[in-house]
Amino acid sequence: MTPAIQIQQVHKRFGAVQALGGIDLEVAPGEFFGLLGPNGAGKTTLINILAGLALADSGSVRVLGHDVVTEYRASRRALGVVPQELVFDPFFSVRETLRIQSGYFGLKHNDAWIDEVMHHLDLTSKAGANMRSLSGGMKRRVLVAQALVHKPPVIVLDEPTAGVDVELRQGLWEFVRGLNRDGHTIVLTTHYLEEAEALCGRIAMLKQGRIVALDTTSKLLNRRDSLYLRLRLAGAALPAALAGRVRDSRDALHTLRLRSYAEVEGVLAQVREAGAQIEEMELLQPDLEDVFVQIMKEAQG
């Protein structure tokens, strides 16, 4: 089966800065794939190369088998990108903007789909509004609509919910999940790691232009041999012997790192011996943020 996205040994340098240092990556058709990394990791550079907005120094990139350089027309038709920056033409209404975007792909009678996209993104009431008059969150909705207007089989969302309200975020993800169920391939970059954990079946983590982790979300979460015990104490401070386990400590609420459930009783015994009373107790599994932070630390240097 032809990969939805195929990236082979892609290098990119901006002067003295190595933005991408040999990226190898394949995304299968129908995947919901996460591309994560700290600022400056190379995520947007990789997306720009994928979209044809930048040229790799070496290596190859294909979208559904079409080389983004030598077969750029076919690769562009197969791809929809929601950029991180708010880029818009201030002279057109929302509907005009989406009709013009349709025209770029040779779509003349696309109003039914435009209406559906605007409905799902709660833009219908703003269809006649000038782009200049929209709030930042509304402008971001239009960017999402522009990326979807030609029904691309591969959709790249670069920080699509940055700076938008909770209601839009929930509505957007419901819509995007539906697209994914219908067979669209989704690639997501986000700093909201709870979104990636909930949505993505597989995740690549980048740091300094290199992939430092690539696996299914479940395997990434399970690679951490730890869990957390959250305790609210009264009557005494946390025993000094447990200081090395502290992940977070605020007033009388302490989150302790454990390697297994077998360590719970020993920790509780130390708390009782110190004369502290347990007012609240909760066992927590590690989340994607914990995994991400640990992988970034391990990748230092």
Q: What is the DSSP string of 45-64?
A: HHHHHHHTSS--SEEEEEET
Q: How far apart are CA 41 and CA 45, in angstroms?
A: 9
Q: Give percent of the chain with pLDDT exceeding 70.
A: 98
Q: How far apart are CA 8 and CA 61, in angstroms?
A: 6
| 68 in Cβ contact with 222 (< 8 Å) | no
What are the respective helix, strand and coil percentages of the chain, to the nearest 5?
A: 40, 30, 30
3-state secondary structure of 176: helix
- Amino acid occupying residue 248: D
Q: How far apart are CA 124 and CA 66, in angstroms?
A: 35
3-state secondary structure of 298: helix
pLDDT in tens, 85-108: 787 888 899 999 999 999 988 888
Given a cut of 80, whether residue 223 has pLDDT beyond it is no
Nearest to 276 by CA among 296, 252, 299, 300: 252
Sorted by where each starts, the structural domains of the chain and their CATH numbers stand as 5-221 (3.40.50.300), 225-285 (3.30.70)
pTM: 0.82
Given a cut of 60, whether residue 288 has pLDDT beyond it is yes
pLDDT in tens, 151-203: 999 999 998 877 677 777 887 888 889 999 999 999 999 888 999 999 999 99
Given a cut of 70, whether residue 225 has pLDDT beyond it is no
- Amino acid occupying residue 202: R
